Structure 1
Amino acid sequence: MPKKKNEESQKEQSDRFREAVRKLVAAGELNPTEAEEAFERAMIDIARKSQANS
């Protein structure tokens, strides 16, 4: 059975995401600085692999 399509607007979805992030940060389960550093490392790794395959 296919999943029911989410009918919330982009703004509602964004608001729900921001609230979830706020709760994770408040609970100490998400550190924005660590998340940014991990994202940057991942992007650098992807760029290196892309250049190696060129």
Structure 2
Amino acid sequence: MEPLPNTYTFAKSLAEHVVNDLFVSTFEDPVAGWIDNFNGPVGLLTAGGKGIIYTL
């Protein structure tokens, strides 16, 4: 940890190395079929289960 001034920069450096070593970028971003969250489908399922949505 000597060249880094504090533990935050040390941890950030470690995380950046992990991302660099284990993850690769994609040709087209985002990947086909990729969504960033499941809030939309979960909301529809919840509303359907409660009987709020009669027809879609």
How does the TM-score come out when normalised to structure 2?
0.34
> Which structure is larger by alpha-carbon Rg, 1 or 2?
2
How does the TM-score come out when normalised to structure 1?
0.36
